[in-house]
């Protein structure tokens, strides 16, 4: 269970998050929506320990990870969290397969043979078994994003955090990414928290948390909406 409790965050005089509470259920696909400037990406970065709040708790299985040292946070992040962003950030000089292995290389979690097998399994899952030796410039935008998703899954993260994963894609590729996320949830039992402006993507999620002015105003679950007071 991931619990976000009373998270506040300011940058100088700008209050970005003003007391955010949210629970993420294991194996859930949940979307965060809202207008630009609502605090969506800031919240995702704090959940992913890429940034720290001014106040509040981020509980992973009951443990407030924010109270840990920077070294412990980095270790936790590498082992338990996978990140997907709007722009794939693949390394141009590496093939698709080599890009996918990067988290394991950084974390030192696998032997070379195991990394190779794992990266190929992930790329096959993404429908890219025929693109192993291709470089990013030889891949379409949708293929590059699927390589980035495979890379995020390399260390078997407990949680996948995605920030506008379809924001730079056309409707066809966006649909493919959505279907891939649904497969990750159903077949790999992946828990996914995604920030998205894509309404069709959000409506396919288990719940939608709507943010405005640094707060979650409502949570919609399968045609049932709860307003946060």
User: Mean pLDDT in runs of 10 for the chain (229 residues)?
Assistant: 94 94 94 92 93 93 88 87 88 95 82 91 94 95 94 93 89 89 92 92 93 93 61
Amino acid 223: pLDDT: 59
Region class of 126: left (phi > 0), else alpha (psi between -120 and 50), else beta: alpha
Burial 109-143 (b: 16+ CB within 10 A, else e): bbeeeebbebbbebbebbebeebbebbbeebeebb
Residues contacting 75, CB < 8 A, separation 6+: none
Q: Residue 146 is encoded by which pair of tokens? A: 């699927």
Amino acid 87: pLDDT: 81
Which one of 3.40.50.970, 3.30.1490.20, 3.40.50.300, 3.40.50.620 gives the CATH number of domain 2-227? 3.40.50.300
pTM of the model: 0.89
Model confidence over 81-93: pLDDT tens digits? 999 988 878 999 9
Amino acid 91: pLDDT: 93
Amino acid 185: pLDDT: 93
Amino acid 1: pLDDT: 83
């Amino acid at each position: 269970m991931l619990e976000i409790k009373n998270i506040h965050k300011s940058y100088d005089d700008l209050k970005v998050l003003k007391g955010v509470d949210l629970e993420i259920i294991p194996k859930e696909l949940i979307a965060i929506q809202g207008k630009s400037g609502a605090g969506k990406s800031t919240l995702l970065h704090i959940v992913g320990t890429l940034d720290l709040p001014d106040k509040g708790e981020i509980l992973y299985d009951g443990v407030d990870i924010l109270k840990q040292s920077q070294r412990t946070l980095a270790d936790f992040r590498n082992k338990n969290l996978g990140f997907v962003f709007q722009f794939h950030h693949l390394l141009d000089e590496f093939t698709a397969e080599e890009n996918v292995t990067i988290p394991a290389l950084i974390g030192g979690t696998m032997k070379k043979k195991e990394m190779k097998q794992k990266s190929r399994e992930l790329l096959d899952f993404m429908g890219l078994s025929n693109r192993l030796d291709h470089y990013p410039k030889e891949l379409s935008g949708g293929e590059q994003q699927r390589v980035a998703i495979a890379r995020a899954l390399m260390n078997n993260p407990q949680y996948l955090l995605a920030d506008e994963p379809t924001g730079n894609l056309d409707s066809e590729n966006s649909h493919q990414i959505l279907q891939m996320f649904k497969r990750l949830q159903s077949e790999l039992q992946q828990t996914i928290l995604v920030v998205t402006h894509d309404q069709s993507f959000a409506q396919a999620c288990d719940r939608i948390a709507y943010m405005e002015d640094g707060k979650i105003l409502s949570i919609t679950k399968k045609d049932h909406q709860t307003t946060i007071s």
